[in-house]
Amino acid sequence: MKIASFNINGVKARIQALTDWLAATDADLVVLQEIKSVDEGFPREHFQDLGWQVETHGQKGFNGVAILSRMPLEDVIRGLPGDDTDEQARYIEATVVGAQAVRIAGLYLPNGNPAPGPKYDYKLAWMERLRLRAAELLASEMPVVLLGDFNIIPEPRDAATPEAWTEDALFRPESRAAFRAIVNQGWTDAVRIRDPWSTRGPFTFWDYQAGAWNRDNGIRIDHLLLSPQAADLMIETGVDRDARAGEKPSDHVPVWVRLAA
């Protein structure tokens, strides 16, 4: 079972880029972030006609997450538990049924800028809610993949120019500590574990401005965290870097993991 995460930066604006990538990938399930569409406006039939089951948690013009699956989905949950007043569409869960069931938790974590400030406070509060939910998922003792755009640069090697991010919400010490508090529950960072000694990258995001892509001035903020049971099933993982070189691309590229499930 191949599971991927892709911040598409607007599903309608990138529908051709997404369609082309889906045609080229052998992924069985894809979690999308920043669909920027209400549920009713998502081009559901387009993807269903291509063989995908579609589940969305959308929001007009901002945020929004979705799951595309070639395998049956069960027990879909929309919204991160812990704050009934939170109206931002950033989290979706489902169980995908292959050779064995795997719980998928897809997220689009708040950016948090400018920091400090209310948006940063929201980011840290959201991460604390995520930590609590992640602990519950681990307690289930089933294979779980927690994946998406975390808007966190975990380490200096995850940025081409880490000094440029020192005061950014993506790299502030509080943000990184909150991310570590989740990982240290017992999750495996799948993309990092494939090459733990790398001193630079791999990157998953390049800004549209200032020639960032051509200069490879990127950052790694899209992550796949595996529960111990999922980590035991991991076969390989990767970053589809070439997707950024296509026509009208997202500023993110897909990251993926293949499980023996």
Which residues are annotated as part of the binding site?
7, 34, 149, 151, 251-252
Active-site entry in 28, 108, 158, 222: 108
Bridging pattern class, strands 29-33 and 2-7: parallel
The letter for the amino acid at 121 is D
Largest CA distance in the chain: 46
Burial 128-142 (b: 16+ CB within 10 A, else e): eebbebbeebbeeee
Annotated catalytic residue 108: yes
Annotated catalytic residue 189: no
Q: Where are the alpha helices (DSSP H) in 69-167?
A: 118-139
Active-site entry in 57, 120, 158, 252: 252
Active-site entry in 28, 149, 158, 222: 149
Residue ranges for the binding site for Mg(2+)? 7, 34, 149, 151, 251-252
Six-digit token string for 95 = 């169980």
Cα separation, 27 vs 11, whole angstroms: 18
**Neighbouring-strand partners of residue 73:** 96
Reported as half-sphere exposure (CB side, CA atoms, 13 A), residue 115 has a value of 20
81 Cα distance to chain centroid: 18
How many Cβ atoms sit within 10 Å of the Cβ of residue 214?
9
Six-digit token string for 210 = 């200032």
Annotated catalytic residue 149: yes
Which residues are known to be catalytic?
108, 149, 252
